[in-house]
Amino acid sequence: MNPISPRQLSPARETGWRRRWFDIIYRHDTPPSRNFDLLLIAAIVISVLVVMLDSVASIHARYAKLLYVIEWGFTLLFTVEYVLRLMTVRQPLRYALSGWGIIDLLSILPTYLSLLIPGSQSLLVLRALRILRLFRILKLTQYVEESGLLLGALWRSRRKIFIFFSAVMTLVVIFGAAMYLIEGPQHGFTSIPTSMYWAIVTMATVGFGDIAPQTTLGRAVTSILILIGYSIIAVPTGIYTAELVTSLREASHEPGHLDRRDCPQCGLEGHDPDALHCRNCGSRLPASMG
Amino acid sequence: MNPISPRQLSPARETGWRRRWFDIIYRHDTPPSRNFDLLLIAAIVISVLVVMLDSVASIHARYAKLLYVIEWGFTLLFTVEYVLRLMTVRQPLRYALSGWGIIDLLSILPTYLSLLIPGSQSLLVLRALRILRLFRILKLTQYVEESGLLLGALWRSRRKIFIFFSAVMTLVVIFGAAMYLIEGPQHGFTSIPTSMYWAIVTMATVGFGDIAPQTTLGRAVTSILILIGYSIIAVPTGIYTAELVTSLREASHEPGHLDRRDCPQCGLEGHDPDALHCRNCGSRLPASMG
Amino acid sequence: MNPISPRQLSPARETGWRRRWFDIIYRHDTPPSRNFDLLLIAAIVISVLVVMLDSVASIHARYAKLLYVIEWGFTLLFTVEYVLRLMTVRQPLRYALSGWGIIDLLSILPTYLSLLIPGSQSLLVLRALRILRLFRILKLTQYVEESGLLLGALWRSRRKIFIFFSAVMTLVVIFGAAMYLIEGPQHGFTSIPTSMYWAIVTMATVGFGDIAPQTTLGRAVTSILILIGYSIIAVPTGIYTAELVTSLREASHEPGHLDRRDCPQCGLEGHDPDALHCRNCGSRLPASMG
Amino acid sequence: MNPISPRQLSPARETGWRRRWFDIIYRHDTPPSRNFDLLLIAAIVISVLVVMLDSVASIHARYAKLLYVIEWGFTLLFTVEYVLRLMTVRQPLRYALSGWGIIDLLSILPTYLSLLIPGSQSLLVLRALRILRLFRILKLTQYVEESGLLLGALWRSRRKIFIFFSAVMTLVVIFGAAMYLIEGPQHGFTSIPTSMYWAIVTMATVGFGDIAPQTTLGRAVTSILILIGYSIIAVPTGIYTAELVTSLREASHEPGHLDRRDCPQCGLEGHDPDALHCRNCGSRLPASMG
């Protein structure tokens, strides 16, 4: 998915109603665009709720007609939004082929398709993907820094997490193959992919119990797998926590480690609190305020 | 819930028995009020145990009468306490409508209601909410600072945890909808809300196994969901640990590894508490306050 | 359990064979006593393995006699050890009533009892408790410091963990009672204690699935409980990790934060690496080697 | 497993094609050897996928012949590789008996054996072990340091983790024996080893549910075991995270936030890499090497 930010998209016109609507739809920093965002998120949440409720048999039986009308209402609303997005942007195709553009299209298409192909309406659950737009609220000022910190720590630990997942997948393949040999199809381990699914379910401590070892050897191997999984569960937590501790320390130290004394000679700021002379020009510093 | 602390409530009278009882009931820092707290907590724990035991069929069959008597005993006791609370406080309504006041009322009402409406006695389990009063013991001196530290770290990570839960819920909606499409009602995924319940149970590694994927595609998607959940489990731990590490460091640093004595000669601050001379220029330091 | 260390127990005689055996049995720092420890641990592990194997129906069917003989062999061996312990110590009763003494007695009694009361032999599993003696190997030099670090962090976080468990148990009581009301006996929630067992199994993400919610409301409440449990799982990890990080930092900083320059005047060691003058007497320090 | 690195193995000849092939096969730092590594890893992944697919009944039914041919293809390919490895190394036996040599042999043997003993083909899953060679990609420059950091933290916490696992296994033995006594064979706890398997599954929060307590006492004991497991899950995470935090801090501090230039005037060490003058006496510093 390649979300396109306002900086990459430019308005179709520099003035007029299309420019105004471009600002409302694509920007997030003016009062009207913020209201538009909130309304859109509300509409998305409600439309997803409608799809959810419609999937419940008892509700569908009673309110099928009402939900059908609401569904068409939201489809038309999102169609208008989609057309507006295409009209106000300078490169409509670029938006249409971006991650957000495809999701927006997928969320309205099924209702129209259901006129031609009955049953395709169930694809409306794709509308759930639009809920990703919820993360727009992260653009609200207070959350920007926080989510930056969280994602920054995730990004810096990406290589470590890749190594970790390689190790996990290797264990899954080896233990999956071993359990297929040991337990065999008669105990539910019908194939190596199925055994691997079981190994993932077990190592991650989910443990559905739909497949479970029944031989003594199988249970012994399972115990080993669980103990490995139990100690390995520490690794991503450890990686992420260690990175986050570092991030938080840096965030709190950066403005603080160095004090704000100006050098009276060259004007350099940011000296160690116990420095007597400017580290740049060597002239005497005023006393630190600490 | 809006617990009202003694500071917000004032006694009905400044002197006399109502003042004395106000101090016993609402304060936590005198010997009689502490004894009252301990007695009340003991009464709450025992009354909750009685409700628990009464719900066990075999015990109910044998001791129904005895438990019935005890129940009425506790109800009367708590009624007296409730009335006392109302009588000794200046603004009885304010207490009655506070979180604690409502819980206190709910814990006695069902027994009286059962005289009018048979069966409403089962609502007595609401008395379990009174167990929240257990946290009064946190007001004991030793625990105040500790729980402050734990809650402080939780409070400072509230925004990060909100972001995290938004991400989790988005995944739950998307994977819930996907699994409803893939597995369908015949494999237990009867509706999107049910699928979402399953997605939560799976991502949090609970894995009851009451609903489990049975198709190959469903199992593949489940494996992905589990691996995501497995790495995401690190995030709240990471957030909270990182905050707690910061809190602990500040708590241990704040009272000052280094004290704030200025050197009278060179002005350097931050000497060890047991230093007699400035570590920079060697002149005599004033006595430490440490 | 109150393990009695050699320091608290004194030998029955200051010289002679009883003194020699006291040193072998109760001390851990001489070659013969270390060999005794290793032999004892080997005997305990093998005897526990025998009890384990005897519990497997197919093995019991074939090797019942052999295992019976081995069992008596170990019982006699441990009896001799027990008598030796009593004979070589000055206060035999003090040993006999200590935690270790009771475990030692319990591990031999069932075999003798089985002569009088058939079936009491199954109590031999109590011998498993003797496996706790395995922790003697922690007395080996390398592990003393490490286990001290682990237990120290645990000890310092005891109050925080107590607060945490109070919160968990309160949630268990409240959600257990709620689910008993919502789901009721027909869905397996037969009593409040059973519901509480289910709440513990769910919050700790074990999720056996022997009891699972079946109503929509029950599943919604379960989802909330799981999400609470999911974020709460971070708390003990956070507490313990934060303490351990602090412990490790102190362990690594203590010898290193201050350098080893002697003050040429007063001989004080341990100055800050950038100190120019002794913080005690104020005389000039030699340059830091850093 | 004792992987033999190129440093330990020497080529059979100093020049000629065998030397050339030795470099391609056993080294990882030249373009041809890197290409060989990538091709080998691709072949291993595909051959493991073939074994996996062949284990799926429906695929085996349709593509048995095709998969049989591919299997023989890979077997011949890996045989050629194995022979080449033996021919180009100076001590072929040393390679053949190393961990990697045995795995390489085991991955080709079953296909040949299946000509003599029908059914032994299922041992081909052993080929999955070859997937361990995937970790060669860790030798790619970027990942060396990262994986070194992860393994270094693991290695330094090995003693703590050993202590932790001793504690876990002791709990497993004691609770396994207790549950065997309490629940007994009629509730699935057929033997002590089975009970121990259940205890591991429970403590690690996997909770298959294939075996679950049914008596009240059993459920109470299970609750205690779960709560212990719940708090103990923090320990490996705590150990590993604490070590990793220390590693990361050292890694970021070591290359020197401050560099080692001596002030030519006052001898102070530890200046910022961009400092031109001593922060203590103000005299000019030599140019930074940073």
| pLDDT top residue among C184 and D125 | C184
> Could you give the C-alpha distances from D23 to D15, D40, D99, D158, in angstroms and in order?
11, 15, 20, 35
| D56, closest residue in chain A (CA to CA) | A191
Section B105-132 average pLDDT: 79
Same domain, A22 and A136: yes
At residue A136, the 3 state secondary structure works out as helix
Structural contact between residues C36 and C25, judged by C-beta atoms closer than 8 angstroms: yes
The alpha-carbon gap from C23 to the nearest alpha carbon of chain A, in Å, equals 38
| pLDDT top residue among D128 and C95 | C95
Instruction: Test B149 with C160 for CB contact under 8 angstroms.
Output: yes
Q: Is the ipTM of this complex over 0.85?
A: no
In the predicted structure, residue B240 carries a pLDDT above the cut 50? yes
* pLDDT score at D256: 43
Fill in the DSSP letter of residue B157: T
Distance CA B196, CA B200 (A): 6
The alpha-carbon gap from D115 to the nearest alpha carbon of chain A, in Å, equals 20
Same domain, D125 and D27: yes
Distance CA A33, CA A12 (A): 17
Instruction: Test D223 with C197 for CB contact under 8 angstroms.
Output: yes
Distance CA C290, CA D22 (A): 47
Same domain, C141 and C163: no
Q: A190, A206, A235 — which closes off a domain? A: A235
At residue C280, the 3 state secondary structure works out as coil
| B201, closest residue in chain A (CA to CA) | A206
In the predicted structure, residue D204 carries a pLDDT above the cut 50? yes
Q: Which two three-digit tokens encode residue C36?
A: 């005794």
The alpha-carbon gap from A20 to the nearest alpha carbon of chain B, in Å, equals 31
| pLDDT top residue among B47 and B254 | B47
| pLDDT top residue among C30 and C142 | C30
Instruction: Test D209 with B209 for CB contact under 8 angstroms.
Output: yes
In the predicted structure, residue D97 carries a pLDDT above the cut 50? yes
Given pLDDT bands bounded at 50, 70 and 90, which one contains residue C126? confident
Same domain, B89 and B174: no
User: Is residue D280 assigned to a domain?
Assistant: no
Collect contacts of B117-121 with beta carbons under 8 A, ≥24 apart: none
User: Is residue D106 assigned to a domain?
Assistant: yes
Task: Give the side-chain half-sphere CA count within 13 A for B72.
Answer: 8
The alpha-carbon gap from A237 to the nearest alpha carbon of chain C, in Å, equals 10
| B contacts of A210 (beta carbons < 8 Å) | 209, 212, 214
At residue A284, the 3 state secondary structure works out as strand
Distance CA D266, CA C284 (A): 12
| Range name among A191-205, B47-61, B168-182, C11-25 with the lowest pLDDT average | C11-25
Given pLDDT bands bounded at 50, 70 and 90, which one contains residue D157? confident
> Mean pLDDT in chain B?
80
Chain centroid, CA B282 distance in Å:
53
Chains that touch A (3 or more CB pairs under 8 A): B, C, D
* pLDDT score at A286: 67
| pLDDT top residue among D99 and D218 | D218
Instruction: Test A150 with B159 for CB contact under 8 angstroms.
Output: no
Given pLDDT bands bounded at 50, 70 and 90, which one contains residue C290? very low
| D contacts of A180 (beta carbons < 8 Å) | 55, 125
| D contacts of A163 (beta carbons < 8 Å) | 138, 143, 146-147, 150
Instruction: Test A126 with B241 for CB contact under 8 angstroms.
Output: no
Same domain, C138 and C35: yes
Render pLDDT for B33-43 as a digit per residue (tens, 0 to 9): 888 888 888 88
Same domain, D124 and D192: no
Same domain, C87 and C203: no
Tell me which of C49, C201, C206, C241 to substitute to probe the interface with A (most A C-beta atoms closer than 10 Å): C241
Section D102-129 average pLDDT: 80
The alpha-carbon gap from B237 to the nearest alpha carbon of chain D, in Å, equals 10
User: Is residue D288 assigned to a domain?
Assistant: no
The alpha-carbon gap from A140 to the nearest alpha carbon of chain C, in Å, equals 24
CATH number of the domain encompassing residue A223: 1.10.287.70
Segment of B100-114, D148-162, D171-185 carrying the highest mean pLDDT: D171-185
| Range name among A77-81, A219-223, D10-14, D219-223 with the lowest pLDDT average | D10-14
User: Is residue D266 assigned to a domain?
Assistant: no
| Range name among C58-62, D138-142, D247-251 with the lowest pLDDT average | D138-142
| Range name among A23-37, A117-131, C149-163, D95-109 with the lowest pLDDT average | A117-131
Q: Amino acid identity of C206?
A: V
In the predicted structure, residue B76 carries a pLDDT above the cut 80? yes
Distance CA C278, CA C270 (A): 10
| A contacts of D194 (beta carbons < 8 Å) | 219
Tell me which of D155, D157, D192, D210 to substitute to probe the interface with C (most C C-beta atoms closer than 10 Å): D192
| C contacts of A206 (beta carbons < 8 Å) | 207
User: Is residue D281 assigned to a domain?
Assistant: no
Section C14-27 average pLDDT: 82
Given pLDDT bands bounded at 50, 70 and 90, which one contains residue B114? confident
Segment of C40-49, C117-126, C247-256, D19-28 carrying the highest mean pLDDT: C40-49
| A contacts of B237 (beta carbons < 8 Å) | 237, 240-241
User: Is residue B24 assigned to a domain?
Assistant: yes
In the predicted structure, residue C164 carries a pLDDT above the cut 70? yes
Q: D235, D256, D274 — which closes off a domain? A: D235
What is the tally of structural domains in chain D? Answer: 2
E strand or H helix at A229: helix A216-232
> Mean pLDDT in chain D?
80
| pLDDT top residue among D289 and B241 | B241
Given pLDDT bands bounded at 50, 70 and 90, which one contains residue C221? very high
Give the range of the structural domain holding residue A57, as residue numbers without chain letter: 6-145
CATH number of the domain encompassing residue C74: 1.20.120.350
User: Is residue D271 assigned to a domain?
Assistant: no
Task: Give the side-chain half-sphere CA count within 13 A for C58.
Answer: 2
Section D259-269 average pLDDT: 63
Same domain, B24 and B115: yes
**Which residues sit opposite C284 in a β-bridge?**
C277
Place of tokens 């065998």: D18
Distance CA D281, CA D287 (A): 17
Q: C186, C220, C235 — which closes off a domain? A: C235
Q: Which two three-digit tokens encode residue C279?
A: 């913080």
* pLDDT score at D34: 80
Same domain, D18 and D90: yes
| C169, closest residue in chain D (CA to CA) | D227
Section B193-197 average pLDDT: 93
**Which residues sit opposite C89 in a β-bridge?**
C11
Given pLDDT bands bounded at 50, 70 and 90, which one contains residue C1? very low
Mean pLDDT in each 10-residue stretch from start to end of chain A (290 residues)? Answer: 51 80 81 84 88 88 91 92 89 85 86 80 75 67 71 80 83 90 90 93 91 93 90 80 79 52 64 64 61
- Taking Cα atoms as reference points, which of B114, B79, C213, B207 lies closest to residue D202? B207
**What does residue A232 show for φ and ψ, rounded to 5 degrees?**
-75, -25
User: Is residue B271 assigned to a domain?
Assistant: no
* pLDDT score at D249: 73
Q: How many CB pairs under 8 A join B and D?
A: 10
Question: Pick from B205, B209, B241: which is nearest to D241 by CB?
Answer: B241
| C contacts of D191 (beta carbons < 8 Å) | 52, 55-57
Same domain, B182 and B118: no
DSSP line for chain D: --PPPTTT--BS-SSHHHHHHHHHHH--SSHHHHHHHHHHHHHHHHHHHHHHHHTSHHHHHHHHHHHHHHHHHHHHHHHHHHHHHHHHBS-HHHHHTSHHHHHHHHTTHHHHHHHHSTTGGGGGGGGGGGGGGGGGGGGSHHHHHHHHHHHHHHHHTHHHHHHHHHHHHHHHHHHHHHHHHHT-GGGT--SHHHHHHHHHHHHTT----SS---SHHHHHHHHHHHHHHHHHTHHHHHHHHHHHHHHHHHHHHTTTSSB-PPPTTT----B-TT--B-TTT-PBPPPP--
Given pLDDT bands bounded at 50, 70 and 90, which one contains residue D121? low
In the predicted structure, residue B266 carries a pLDDT above the cut 90? no
> Could you give the C-alpha distances from D174 to B230, C277, D193, in angstroms and in order?
30, 61, 11
| Range name among A168-177, A278-287, B170-179, D92-101 with the lowest pLDDT average | A278-287
The alpha-carbon gap from B207 to the nearest alpha carbon of chain D, in Å, equals 8
Structural contact between residues A274 and B268, judged by C-beta atoms closer than 8 angstroms: yes
* pLDDT score at D273: 56
* pLDDT score at B255: 44
Same domain, A162 and A140: no
In the predicted structure, residue D250 carries a pLDDT above the cut 90? no
Instruction: Test A237 with B234 for CB contact under 8 angstroms.
Output: yes
At residue B277, the 3 state secondary structure works out as strand
Same domain, A114 and A32: yes
